[in-house]
Amino acid sequence: MDVVAADAEYDQLSGELVRLNRLLERAQARFSAHFSDGVERAAFILLVHLVKDGPRRLSTLADAVHSDVSTVSRQIAQLVNLGLVERRPDPSDGRASLLAATDDGRRAFEEKRAHRNRNMAEILSGWDAHDQATLTRLLARFNDDYERHHLKGTHR
């Protein structure tokens, strides 16, 4: 592909990604306005990690979400105050604690997950299974490459 054609493709792709980002932000704002549970989106992502990956230390959780410990600590405090996360003693080091989702936290995760999956099913209802699988595979590949490029220090 020549440079002009490649630039046009990258321009189109970048434009679609900007459009998707704006759509996601607007949808998130609408969702938060209608279904506010007091949990910030960034804090909910921490809950997702604790539900999916199990109990972990604060520093491990911060690494998983590419954030600093002080920010994650503030967000975890919100989740603890809401009863969605609890601190447990770390069996391997009595001086440290592990963060874990509570039963209420797992329920909150499952409710939002079910809502998100219903939404996705509606959006993709006109797509065949092969196209859905291709989208998932290519988006995962793009996210992996994007993360490697921008979040792991290779971005110039």
Q: How confident is the model at residue 131 (pLDDT cuts 50, 70, 90)?
A: very high
Q: What is the pLDDT of residues 9-62, one digit of tens each?
A: 999 999 999 999 999 989 888 877 666 677 888 899 999 999 999 999 999 999
Candidate CATH numbers 3.40.109.10, 3.20.20.20, 3.30.390.10, 1.10.10.10; the one for domain 37-102: 1.10.10.10
Amino acid identity, residue 153?
G
Give the start-to-end residue ranges of the domains of the chain. 1-36, 37-102
- CA distances, 75 to each of 9, 28, 41, 71, 109 (Å): 39, 18, 10, 6, 16
Q: Is the pLDDT of residue 156 over 60?
A: no
> Mean pLDDT, the chain, as a whole number?
90
Name the residue with higher pLDDT: 91 or 53: 53
Q: Is 9 left (phi over 0), alpha (psi -120 to 50) or beta?
A: alpha
Averaged over 52-78, what is the pLDDT?
A: 94
Find all residues with CB under 8 Å of 27, minimum gap 6, and list them. Answer: none
What whole-number percentage of the chain has pLDDT above 90? 69
The two three-digit tokens of residue 51, written as one number: 């539900």
User: In the prediction, which pLDDT does 154 show?
Assistant: 52
